Structure 1
Amino acid sequence: MLLATCGLPRSGPTSSEIYAGSVLREGDAFILVVDDRINYISAVSPALGFSQSFINAGVLGSDTIQPGDILGLTIWENVDDGLLVPTGQNATVLEEVQVDGSGFIFVPYAGRIRAAGNTPEAVRRIISEQLEEQTPDPQVQVRRLAGDGSTVSIVGAVTAQGVYPIERPTRTLAAMLAEAGGVTIEPEIAQVTLVRGGQRATAWFTDIYDHPSYDVPLRSGDRIVVEEDTRSFTALGATGTQDLVPFQSKTISALEAIAQVGGLSSTSADPTGVFVFRNEPEEIARQLTGVENLQGTQRIVYVLDLTRPNGLFFARDFAIRDEDTVYVTEAPFSQFSKVISAITGTLGSVDTISSAATGFE
């Protein structure tokens, strides 16, 4: 039976073999039984969100002219022989006057006019004042058309990728995402990255709508990238399936992780031996273990005993993180059953061979 036990197939190490790797037994991993204290410390994980520099940027005025914008000008003169108005007409239209990179436009007889940073109304007054010196009581209308200066680019998992102008209805992130048709993946696992110059920040798509401060104002040249969450954990051992499992929500507990892979195997799993393997940073490891002289990343093995009082609650509150390995050991009875099956199977084979040999006599 001992030889049979050593040679039997199994889904992974036993609980005793895992405990043998503890630092208390000259191993290199800290083995910790999960309770409320462990849950509180280990739940720390990097949070997604926008920095204050994005949040406090302030909404751009919808009429503020930027370099690259296109303006439309209409000028009326109260004389028959005007400076700009053709003979027989009372107005002239200057379409698609582009604001140059320095923020100026050129208007005949008015010269170079500073447009960037001003509203169309301010530009109208400047042009009127310049022309009034040469023609009596000119009337000027300035319209801000869609230009290539105040634009953002949107790529990734949205309905319509492209370059969009920042206009009155689309001055914030949520409105611009709606303008692009919304996301094409599950909102729960969608991440939105905003790139502005040398700054980059990422937030959950749902947080943009749940937290008004995350609906940040946009700036010309912003790049918006929508991507699916890439986090995953590995499930091994006596579970319904053994696989690399992607996260299906922003947070996932150990209990949810087990359920996501089909639960514990009813024929082989040991509910006292659910292990989560993780590399913890130095600061977290020191708090977990109480060892102050730890240096660098530490190997931590968390133990979840679902048969303990409150064991299911501890598992429900234990947060699974990216790249975790969830391993469920086999029950001792499962190995015993395999031994019996191996022995009885061997004896059955001997009987079959003996019967066949008798038949040939």
Structure 2
Amino acid sequence: MTRTAASLMIVALLAGCSTLPRDGPSGMGVVQAASNPERQGDYALVNLDFALSERLKAAPQRSFSTLALASSDAPTDIIGVGDTLAVSIFEPSGGLFGGGSSSSESGNQTLPPLVVDRNGAVPVPFAGSVSVQGLTPAQASAAVRRALIGKVANPQVIVTLAGNTSNAVTVLGEVRNPGRQPLAANSDRILDVIAAAGGSSRSIYDVTVRIQRGGQTYTAPMSIVTTEFNENVRLQRGDQVNLVYQPRRFSSFGAFNAVARTDLPPGPLTLAEALSGVGGLDSNLADAKSVLVFRFERPEVAQALGIQQAATPRGVPVVYRLNLNEGSGFFIASNFQIEPDDIIYAPRSGAAEARKFFEFVQSVTRVVYDVSVTSAINLD
């Protein structure tokens, strides 16, 4: 009975070999699940050649969102509550600020710094409370002058912003010094504000810039903002600028010498460089004629390649297959560019799968043998 049980266990193992655990799908399994002329599969399987890699490189660049619509012409020198003003008054006669002196010198008066109160006004001697909120410095000068007319003979007034706290934006996220940053006529663009906040410690390729204003959000990659002049937009008071870290990565699974999730470097990365970065294929396990790249391809690119696979919300699921058993495969790998979220997978070769199975069967049959011997001893 023990021998019969052992035989039945081995037969069951052989019958269930297709259910043995594996690191991922076999190359044949990937082919079987792909779309073909007879049926719609889960993804399109596309064999990579050099011409196809060239067509992929020539595809239009990914369309990015833009900050151009957020550009503002609003002035950045509008006086607001909490701002500090420097007010200088020039009186040609010298009768008021000159203290009644008969000196021919004009009466000049520079007032102490004046802070705009919660009512939007500043106190000016002999003029009382002068409303300046919402005015430019030039307009505030005119307002103070009007308030002094009748008290000072032909006064001349100069108002400047000594402390500009209301004309500011808030900078958050991946900057070294987050907080409020003032705007000025010569530093009101988004790169000026980011630089004033210490810049970003992340790669510009992994950062997205977001501007929030009045319930609207405008976004663009930092790499585009730094290279396209139209994206370096003018900001306005009250804007919130947020630098969001969105790392670009690819993953590698299967019969590699190292399995990893790897950050993409600045600039393009080819499949050959990616394979080198993870230690290359495991020569004892990998099926070199079937190196696979899983990708959600952009619909416009898939259409240009003639791929008929239906799109998902993330894009068109495509598996690119490369044969590295052929010498041309390395030229193709050096021309095929990896994109963020790509998955590179190397299935096991048929010989490696068979070896894995027989090793498993051998380990189980050894256990069965040990059980059989133990049972025989116990029977004796």
With normalisation by structure 2, the TM-score equals 0.73
Q: 1:348–1:44: structure 2 CA closer, same or farther, 3 Å change rule? A: farther
Q: 1:340–1:92: structure 2 CA closer, same or farther, 3 Å change rule? A: closer
Q: 1:117–1:318: structure 2 CA closer, same or farther, 3 Å change rule? A: farther
Corresponding position of 1:21: 33
State the distance in 1 between where 2:281 and 2:245 align: 28
Which has the larger Rg?
A: 2
Specify the code of the residue in structure 1 equivalent to 2:89.
I
State the distance in 1 between where 2:298 and 2:205 align: 27
Matched, 1:217 2:229: no
Contact 2:65–2:219 at 8 Å: present in 1 too?
Answer: yes
Which deviates more from structure 2 when the two are superposed, residues 316-325 or residues 18-27?
Answer: 316-325
- TM-aligned CA deviation for residue 19 of structure 1: 0.9
Q: 1:143–1:173: structure 2 CA closer, same or farther, 3 Å change rule? A: same
Residue 279 of structure 2, aligned match among 254, 262, 270 = 262
Matched, 1:33 2:47: yes
- TM-aligned CA deviation for residue 237 of structure 1: 1.0
Contact 1:50–1:201 at 8 Å: present in 2 too?
Answer: yes
- TM-aligned CA deviation for residue 142 of structure 1: 1.1
For 1:316-327, list aligned pairs within 5 A: 316-327=334-345
Q: Secondary structure at the match of 2:290?
A: strand
Q: 1:145–1:99: structure 2 CA closer, same or farther, 3 Å change rule? A: farther
What runs of 5+ residues in structure 1 fail to find an aligned partner? none
Q: Secondary structure at the match of 1:176?
A: helix
What runs of 5+ residues in structure 2 fail to find an aligned partner? 1-12, 102-106, 375-379
Number of residue pairs matched by the alignment:
353
Give deviations 1:190-215, integer Å, cap 9, x for gaps: 33323233333334434444444433
Residue 192 of structure 1, aligned match among 184, 209, 212 = 209
- TM-aligned CA deviation for residue 150 of structure 1: 0.8
State the distance in 1 between where 2:143 and 2:230 align: 37
State the distance in 2 between where 1:244 and 1:281 align: 22
Give deviations 1:144-172, integer Å, cap 9, x for gaps: 12233210111112221111111355322
Q: 1:351–1:110: structure 2 CA closer, same or farther, 3 Å change rule? A: closer
- TM-aligned CA deviation for residue 284 of structure 1: 4.4
Which deviates more from structure 2 when the two are superposed, residues 152-161 or residues 227-236?
Answer: 227-236
Contact 1:38–1:288 at 8 Å: present in 2 too?
Answer: no
- TM-aligned CA deviation for residue 310 of structure 1: 3.8
- TM-aligned CA deviation for residue 300 of structure 1: 2.1
With normalisation by structure 1, the TM-score equals 0.76
Specify the code of the residue in structure 1 equivalent to 2:295.
R
Corresponding position of 1:67: 80
State the distance in 1 between where 2:335 and 2:84 align: 56
Give deviations 1:253-282, integer Å, cap 9, x for gaps: 433433343332232122221112234465
Q: Secondary structure at the match of 2:288?
A: strand
Corresponding position of 2:104: none
Identity %: 23
Q: 1:32–1:117: structure 2 CA closer, same or farther, 3 Å change rule? A: farther
Q: 1:164–1:52: structure 2 CA closer, same or farther, 3 Å change rule? A: closer
